[in-house]
Amino acid sequence: MNVKSIQTLVSEALQEIKTINADEALKMIEDNSCNLIDIRDAHELENTGKVENSVHVPRGMLEIYLDPNSALFQQGVLDQNKEMVLFCAGGVRSALAVKALKNMGYEKISHIGGGFGAISQSKFKIV
């Protein structure tokens, strides 16, 4: 049995996906050109706060909530024409999540390197 380690999975994902920094993501928010998606667990948001203008989609529900027919798209919470920018606490889960969205057929997708840690050190507002 040849099971890949998490380090291998993340390393492979990072070679296939687009990584942006917190400042680039903030500019995209200001330009209204992306959906900022927080894939952390609910308890993480309770402990550290929510990033202003982000939509919470827990990692375990990502593929369900980002189905084109989901309520988030039908109700206009997410715009399928904008880039999906994902983040987690540190960048590991979001890298794997972007790869999963790529497998679903999404093309305009990226994640924030350094995750919430990098966001909290930037000009993003935490509410």
The domain of 24 spans 16-120
Q: DSSP of 30-84, one letter per residue?
A: HTT-EEEEE-S-HHHHHHH-PBTTEEE--GGGHHHHTSTTSHHHHTTSS-TTSEE
Residue 88 belongs to a domain: yes
Q: What is the C-alpha separation between 50 and 110, in angstroms, rounded?
A: 19
Confidence category of residue 4, pLDDT binned at 50, 70, 90: very high
Does residue 127 lie in a domain region? no
Residue 9 lies in a domain: no
User: Which tokens belong to 56?
Assistant: 């919470």
The per-residue pLDDT for range 77-114, each reduced to its tens digit, is 999 999 999 999 999 999 999 999 999 999 999 999 99
pLDDT > 90? residue 1: no
- Asked whether residue 43 is assigned to any structural domain, the reply reads yes
* Total number of domains constituting the chain: 1
pLDDT at 126 over 90: yes
Within a domain: 114: yes
Is 5 domain-assigned?
no
* Per-residue pLDDT tens digits for 29-70: 999 999 999 999 999 999 999 999 999 999 999 999 999 999
Instruction: Read off the CATH number of the domain in which 24 is found.
Output: 3.40.250.10
Q: Is residue 73 part of a domain?
A: yes
58 found inside a domain: yes
